Amino acid sequence: MFLDAGKYIFYFLVFPGFIFTLAVGLISVWIDRKVTARVQWRVGPPPGQPLYDILKLLGKETIVPKNSNKTLFLSAPLVGLGSVTIVSVILWLASVYKISFVGDLFVVVYLLMLPSLSLMIGGMASGNPMAATGANREMKLILAYELPFLLCLAIVIIKSGISINMVDLAGNHVMGSISGVLAFLISLLCIQAKLGFTPFDIAEAETEIMEGPYIEYSGVPLALFKITQAMLLFTLPVYLISVFLGGLNFRGLGILWTVLKYVAILVVIIVIKNTNPRLRIDQALKFFWRFLTPAGIVALVLAIIGHISGIDWL
């Protein structure tokens, strides 16, 4: 009993959980900044830079604005951090240890929404008009990308023979069909928006609303937000891999293959980030609702037809 509890605490804090995700996340952030710098013909920061940033923020003064809601303002970053950690644990336990429970797929999807929600709560609680504008935009963005994101998930569920278990999903071959490929591409764009990367960094837009919801944050809470972002940069590609690309595999050559999948997704995300200008919020809404949602519906219909008539490649 105690041994079990200890095992789960270890899962949560060290191996697939907090420390491991944070370490890989920081490396990913460095890769992101380095590639961005190389694209712009610069040299870029040293490998330890994301870690230095976070250490520095942890050592700075934390200012709480006078007309903010103190409790909400300070607890919002914790919500995001906690949810990303749990998502990471669920994904890894399902992929590596084959531990899973019925419906964990939905838990993951809901928990993946919490970081954006915590950002909104924090922004609203800070009492700053810029932050409120940013939170507002974040809310619209969530409304825009959640629908296609869930449609893609429905396709995956159908493809895996109506299973809502992470372990069953890891083994199926979604990418061997038209609807699967479509769903993967749509999910990739939704994840770009979830990460708050250009062209969908509308909520943080530092040149117009000065980092939006983050504007009043300093010191430790800001560090927590940065940590959450770094962990998301690792967790969301892992989610894509577990749902669409056959899961993580650490036996023999599988390690190489898994790392390759992760790096490929990361590079695609970074390249999209660096080759696109920021959209306006209405353009982003139009993009998701007029293009991606209908595409998702088409893919879903294809998947259903394929499932009923037993054609695998649809």
Distance CA(197)–CA(162), nearest Å, equals 32
Cβ-proximal residues to 79 (8 Å cutoff; 6+ apart), any chain: 114, 117, 118, 121
The smaller minimum CB distance to another protein, of residues 7 and 60, is found at: 60
CA 238 to chain centre: 9
> Under the rule (CB under 8 A), what is the footprint of another protein?
33, 37, 40-46, 48-49, 52-53, 55-56, 58-63, 206-207, 210-211, 214-219, 222
**Least distance (Å) between residue 293 CB and another protein:** 32
The smaller minimum CB distance to another protein, of residues 163 and 218, is found at: 218
**Least distance (Å) between residue 174 CB and another protein:** 39
Supply the DSSP symbol for 61.
P
C-beta of residue 265 within 8 angstroms of C-beta of residue 192 = no
Distance CA(33)–CA(226), nearest Å, equals 14
**Least distance (Å) between residue 48 CB and another protein:** 7
The smaller minimum CB distance to another protein, of residues 126 and 160, is found at: 126
Cβ-proximal residues to 301 (8 Å cutoff; 6+ apart), any chain: none
Residue of 145, 177, 141 whose CA lies nearest to 158: 177
The smaller minimum CB distance to another protein, of residues 214 and 287, is found at: 214
Is residue 298 within a helix (H) or strand (E), and if so which, with residue range? helix 293-309
* Identity at 138, one-letter amino acid code: E
The smaller minimum CB distance to another protein, of residues 2 and 41, is found at: 41
Give the DSSP letter string of 27-94: HHHHHHHHHHHHHTT-----TTHHHHHHHHHHTSPPP--TTS-HHHHHHHHHHHHHHHHHHHHHHHII
**Least distance (Å) between residue 275 CB and another protein:** 17
**Least distance (Å) between residue 37 CB and another protein:** 6
**Least distance (Å) between residue 43 CB and another protein:** 5
The smaller minimum CB distance to another protein, of residues 54 and 236, is found at: 54
